[in-house]
Amino acid sequence: MCFFKGARRLNPPRPRSVPFWDLSTVLEAMKGAPFKPLQSADLKHLSLKNALLLALASVKRVGDLQALSVSTSCLEFWPNDSRVVLKPKQGYVPKVLSTPFRAQVISLVALPSPDDERDSNLLCPVRALRFYLERSASLRQSEQLFVCFGGCAKELVVTKQRLSHWIVDAIPLAYESKGLHCPLGVRAHSMRGNEDVAY
């Protein structure tokens, strides 16, 4: 037994670099119901879609996303919603400072222009964020970007744990909407394994 423990310490298991779930399947599902139309989709599905798209497009940790603010100094839409720039609340310190993800400014370009109804526009994180801000405005009691959409936590700020659940929950919901079974082992951290996705 001691031998195996020692061997495990010398050669610890490596985390999977490839997610169990299929990104193209999830993104395709995000183009359809119940995640669209953005104007009338349930706030739950709109919230989960935004959390997932923002996680994929920014390649940020959940803590970084949870710290994002809607204050005028932290959130700026460019003319015609061609781009959005997001920053965390003042005083936020990221979990890891010495990584490629240490820059706290998130700048996302629209895909394509907001008035274009082509398929790619249905996955535009800028357009989805604009609708989310409008739809969640009545619930927001603070400057935090993400707010709870229902239950006893309605109107409260979203914790890191809850935001992580949102991102994870979006994936099986996407599979479900396509009539597919979701693979086991989905984790919020696997979003950052898809950093080669271009937005």
The domain that holds 143 is classified in CATH as: 1.10.443
The domain containing residue 65 runs over which residues?
18-194
| Number of domains present in the structure of the chain | 1
Structural domain includes residue 158? yes
Q: Which of 3-7, 63-67, 162-166, 192-196 has the lowest mean pLDDT?
A: 192-196
The answer on pLDDT for 134 being more than 80 is yes
Structural domain includes residue 5? no
Quote the CA–CA distance of 145 and 89 in Å, as a whole number: 10
Angle at 132 between CA 81 and CA 42, to 5 degrees: 140
User: Which residues, including other chains, have CB under 8 Å from residue 123's CB and lie 6 or more apart?
Assistant: 27, 30, 31, 53, 111
Which position has the higher pLDDT, 6 or 174?
Answer: 174
Structural domain includes residue 139? yes
Structural domain includes residue 127? yes
Nearest to 26 by CA among 44, 62, 51, 8: 51
Structural domain includes residue 199? no
Which position has the higher pLDDT, 152 or 28?
Answer: 28
Quote the CA–CA distance of 35 and 15 in Å, as a whole number: 31
pLDDT digits (tens, 9 = 90+) for 138-188: 998 899 999 998 877 787 889 999 999 999 999 999 999 999 987 765 655
pLDDT band (50, 70, 90) for residue 112: confident
Structural domain includes residue 161? yes
Quote the CA–CA distance of 64 and 61 in Å, as a whole number: 5
Locus of tokens 């964020």: 129
- Name the pTM for this structure: 0.78
Our separate counts of H helices and E strands in the chain read 6, 3
Structural domain includes residue 73? yes
Structural domain includes residue 76? yes
The answer on pLDDT for 17 being more than 80 is no
